[in-house]
Structure 1
Amino acid sequence: MAQIAFLGTGLLGGAFAEAAATRGDSVKAWNRTPDKAQALARFGVQPAATPADAVRGAARVHLVLKDDAVVEEVIAAARAALSPDAVIVDHTTTLPALTVQRAQRLAGEGIKYLHCPVFMGPPAARKALGSMLACGPRALFESVQGELAKMTGKIEYLGERTDLAAVHKLFGNAMIVGVSAVMADILTIAQASNVPGEDAVRLLGLLDLNAMVAGRGANMAKGNFTPTFELSMARKDVRLMLEACGDRPLAALPGIAARMDQLIAAGHGARDPAVLAIDAVQRP
């Protein structure tokens, strides 16, 4: 039975700790708000008063925290009590550049560190579903791979470059936030047009979004803007969307319209709307 620690027991961290205890691990947990750690006692999780108390004797220390600053603060608080062979597994969504600095510094101090952000919510964490990304020294990853696999439906090792999991997590979260923003605007068009939002969502089932990412997305990444639909026509359609919404607040479409206007003014109106990515994919 492994002894592990969870530092940060909000919605996701608490679900991870609960699942680990249910699987039979010996789990200690700390949270800045003590009640959140204490609420896990009914699952067999032992609440700890400090990060150091939580990590003492743990083979793995899982961080599920807010941001880079909190990660640094909590590691510093736990540092003195870490076992020499303990592995820190950081699930926090962090800035890639700071993740590299942290990984390099900790390696220099002899501390074992992997960055393993996840795409899952609390229900998925309790059922070991969703996806986990991982990067860091291969041998270190392989030493804990079996235990990490118990936490998730899929684990993707991205290699030894220590910022890759952080970067890929931002890719995924950008898609989630972007889809949410565009969905909000679609629902606004529906509201303004006296159409039930459920009908708007149902219409989207006719679109193969995965194929759009695989096809149009791949063309964008290659810088291929050969038109199947012209940017100037797409801008006209966005104008219609904006006019349909009137003065209702919108999350994404006004910014898209402004960027389209810039590109059309620069002479790209006859190219595919994929040209929205031109500044991101131009080759030196």
Structure 2
Amino acid sequence: MAQIAFLGTGLLGSAFAEAAAKRGDVVTAWNRSANKVEALAAFGVKAAATPADAVRDATRVHLVLKDDAVVEEVIAAARPGLADGAVVIDHSTTLPALTVQRAARLHDAGVKYLHCPVFMAPAAARNAQGTMLVSGPGALYDIVKDELAKMTRRVKYLGERQDLAAANKLLGNALIIGLVAVMADVLTLAQASDIGSMDAIALLKLLDLNGMVDGRGTNMAKGNFTPSFELAMARKDVALMLELAGNRPLAALPGVQARMDALIAKGHGADDVCMLGIDTVRRD
């Protein structure tokens, strides 16, 4: 049985705290809006008035906060109560450069800090599903890895480079947000075509997204633009989509069209549609 603290009990933080209490940990939590902590009393989570009160005697302190500024503010407020040897585990999505600075500053001050952002919704956090990324000192990760494994289906340790978890979290979120935007446009096109929304989603389930990442994603990353779907032909299809949508708002396709037009103007129309990623190809 561990004594731990959660600072930040929004949707994800409260789910983590609930799950930890159900596993038998002694959990104390703090949140700026006290009612969000009080709602966890039914699971045995104790409410604290301040971050310093929450972390007192805790062996692990989990941060689930909005952004870098809030992380800095809450860590500063918690420091007076932080026990010697306590590990601060930061699940917040943050800017890589600021994460590096924060980790170095805390290390110099003797604070044990790991950045551990996650890919999981609240329901997944309650059921120990999803993925957790970790970067920071390997020796520190070894201390907490078994406990982290109880929180999620998959823990991926990326190494000692302090910004890797933060950067990889943004890569993953870019894909998630991009897919959401494209799916919104698909549903807009379905509406314009008098096709039911669920029928459109059923169509998307027929597509092999992992195969596309493995095929076109790999080609893009390697700079292989041998055409199998020419950029000019893809641009023609986007034009048809925009015409079909009419004056309905679109989330992603207008930006795709603009990028295609710029590349075609540079003479890339006969190359593969993967040419959209030409500027990411490393030039050593």
TM-score by length of 2: 0.99
Take 2:82 and 2:131, find their aligned partners in 1: how far apart are those partners? 27
Q: Deviations over 1:157-196 (max 9, x none)?
A: 0000000001110111011100000000000001011111
Shift of 1:280: 1.4
2:190 — aligned with what? 190
Shift of 1:282: 4.0
1:59 — aligned with what? 59
Question: 1:91-130 alignment to 2 at 5 Å?
Answer: 91-130=91-130
Say yes or no: does 1:239 pair with 2:239: yes
1:44 — aligned with what? 44
Take 1:267 and 1:100, find their aligned partners in 2: how far apart are those partners? 41
1:272 — aligned with what? 272
Take 2:240 and 2:60, find their aligned partners in 1: how far apart are those partners? 55
2:32 — aligned with what? 32
Take 1:245 and 1:62, find their aligned partners in 2: how far apart are those partners? 45
Q: Which amino acid aligns with 1:84?
A: D
Q: Which amino acid aligns with 2:222?
A: K
Say yes or no: does 1:151 pair with 2:151: yes
Q: Deviations over 1:117-152 (max 9, x none)?
A: 001111111111111010100010010000010000
Shift of 1:219: 0.8
Take 1:136 and 1:200, find their aligned partners in 2: how far apart are those partners? 43
2:137 — aligned with what? 137
Take 2:8 and 2:204, find their aligned partners in 1: how far apart are those partners? 37
Take 1:96 and 1:33, find their aligned partners in 2: how far apart are those partners? 27
Take 1:254 and 1:20, find their aligned partners in 2: how far apart are those partners? 45
Q: SS in structure 2 opposite 1:136?
A: coil
2:217 — aligned with what? 217
Shift of 1:80: 1.2
Take 1:149 and 1:225, find their aligned partners in 2: how far apart are those partners? 40
Take 1:139 and 1:188, find their aligned partners in 2: how far apart are those partners? 50
Shift of 1:202: 1.1
Take 2:249 and 2:282, find their aligned partners in 1: how far apart are those partners? 33
Q: Which runs of 4+ in 1 moved over 2 A?
A: none
RMSD: 0.7
Say yes or no: does 1:161 pair with 2:161: yes
Runs of 5+ consecutive residues of structure 1 not aligned to the other structure: none
Take 1:39 and 1:207, find their aligned partners in 2: how far apart are those partners? 41
Take 1:148 and 1:171, find their aligned partners in 2: how far apart are those partners? 22
Take 1:180 and 1:157, find their aligned partners in 2: how far apart are those partners? 27
Q: Which 10-residue stretch deviates more, 198-207 or 151-160?
A: 198-207
Q: Which amino acid aligns with 1:161?
A: R
Q: SS in structure 2 opposite 1:49?
A: coil
Q: Which amino acid aligns with 1:71?
A: V
Aligned residues: 284
Take 2:172 and 2:264, find their aligned partners in 1: how far apart are those partners? 29
Q: SS in structure 1 opposite 2:28?
A: strand
Take 2:107 and 2:282, find their aligned partners in 1: how far apart are those partners? 36
Take 1:148 and 1:175, find their aligned partners in 2: how far apart are those partners? 25
Take 1:197 and 1:123, find their aligned partners in 2: how far apart are those partners? 24
Shift of 1:206: 2.2
Take 2:44 and 2:281, find their aligned partners in 1: how far apart are those partners? 51
Equivalent pairs: percent with the same residue?
71
Shift of 1:201: 1.2
Take 2:268 and 2:131, find their aligned partners in 1: how far apart are those partners? 38
Say yes or no: does 1:227 pair with 2:249: no
Take 1:195 and 1:175, find their aligned partners in 2: how far apart are those partners? 26
